[in-house]
Amino acid sequence: MPIGVLRERPNSPGDGFRYDQGEMLTPIDLRAFDKSDDYRAMLDGLPRPEVVADFPTAGVLAILDDVRARGDDALRALTSKFDGVDLDELRVTPDQVALARTRISGELRDALEVACAAIRDYQERSRLVASQERYERDGITVSELCIPVARAGLYAPGGRARYPSTVLMTAVPASVAGVREIVLCVPPMKDGSIDDLTLAAADLAGVNEVYRVGGAQAIAAMAFGTESIAPVDVIAGPGNRYVAQAKRAVSGIVGVPSAFTGPSEVVVVADASAPVLLAAIDLVVQAEHGPDGLAWLITWSEKVLDEVTAEVTRLVASSPRNSDLVATLAKGGYAVLVNGPAEAMEVANYIAPEHLELCVSQPSVLVQMVRSAGAVFLGPNTPASLGDYVAGPSHVLPTNGSARFAGALSVEDFVKRVHVISADDGAIARLGPSVEALAIAEGLPAHAESIALRGAQGR
């Protein structure tokens, strides 16, 4: 395997890293490391795009302040500055949204309907299970009201590309949750419009309002409100680091799902049985989304590493999006060689990727070792692309390591769980003494008295 000794990098644990910059995937050899004390240091030294460290915090906060102060005027000025589009009307009219479904091809219309039906079915089943939860113990019964937020704000990337699938993956869960008003912001194209496929998806998914606004300014508008856009209760949807940082900044003013939904990521764990072309194309698929993402191959076979790396290089060279792929893989494309499956999963769990593909002969064994991932895809016939469009769960997944504590966007992100508690006639007698003892210990005599009075009435 043509690898060289690692040149100096920040926080490098030593000579165990090896690489060669002549290929699309930079090889890293971790076979010298075992489960000794330096193993965690080795993991901490793995190269990763420093998205968090590069957050444009000051610039984003300035945009938020501008929109909060000047409303629509700020949105128009910022859209002109960042998107090169001068807009009079920010909203896409309901008639324009509805007509979009008639302007796309029958094939695309059918594809949207297939995807929408799969997403809706999955989310409805998930909500049904959640609504049936009930707890009973010692005469106390607890159930839950799942109350949808009144107004949800969604963000879908746009401008250079279009992501109707993201519209479905965000709007359908909100619709299934019962949200009455669903708002969508999308960056406009150079002519000031939103493409028909995106609008058709919005119409199909039940979006009520569509606005031609992108970037941090769209998040500000939905959080604070402007003359044209009323404020929302929850903001969801993926975006670049400006959008992600803006969502973090307004969290607490509005609800924001805990997952960091930024640039796309994939880790492919492959053994000797992995089809080289399929493993390679799945690495390219996520890199296709743009800069700051991750595309990692992890294997314990030198042959697999060499062959998949070569195939990725070939695929990138022939891709019409060659420049985007090269830019992404130059910063976030790696091929990691480890001692075996357990070590492969250690590395995968540390990365906590958005998409984890187990392209191995026995994926059911490795999936038991998963601790942190947005979504896991089992076997060579289950690419992440299925999850991107038609598997059912939302493709809005945690990135940048947030899979350590967060999961996919779902109905749960658009509802408030309100506990409903009732007690039978004997509950005070059985549990009251414990309440009184704790309340007195905390210096809250009225709490204790509220129990004592009921106990007295029951005697």
The yes/no answer on whether domain 57-257 falls in CATH 3.10.580.20 is no
CB 347 within 8 A of CB 44: no
Sign of torsion, CA 96 102 103 104? positive
Please write the tens of the pLDDT for every residue from 341-351. Answer: 999 999 999 99
Using a pLDDT cut of 90, give the percent of the chain over it: 73
Is 136 a residue of the active site? Answer: no
Please write the tens of the pLDDT for every residue from 177-191. Answer: 999 999 999 999 999
pLDDT value, residue 129: 64
Residue of 355, 357, 395, 436 marked active site: 355
Write down the pTM of the prediction.
0.87
Q: How deeply is 21 buried, as exposed, middle or buried, from its count of CB atoms within 10 A (0-12, 13-18, 19+)? A: exposed
Please write the tens of the pLDDT for every residue from 372-387. Answer: 999 999 999 999 999 9
- Rounded Cα distance between 117 and 451, Å, is 51
Six-digit token string for 48: 């990763």
Please write the tens of the pLDDT for every residue from 23-66. Answer: 789 999 998 876 665 777 788 888 865 555 556 789 999 999 99
Is 354 a residue of the active site? Answer: yes
Average the pLDDT over 214-218 and give the result. Answer: 97
Domain with CATH 3.40.50.1980 in the chain: 4-47+262-387, 57-257
Average the pLDDT over 450-455 and give the result. Answer: 90
pLDDT value, residue 156: 95
Residue of 209, 343, 354, 412 marked active site: 354
Six-digit token string for 398: 């945690």
CB 275 within 8 A of CB 241: no
CATH of 4-47+262-387, picked from 3.90.1150.10, 2.30.40.10, 3.40.50.1980, 3.30.1360.70, is 3.40.50.1980
Confidence of residue 439 (pLDDT cuts 50, 70, 90): very high
Please write the tens of the pLDDT for every residue from 158-171. Answer: 876 789 999 999 99
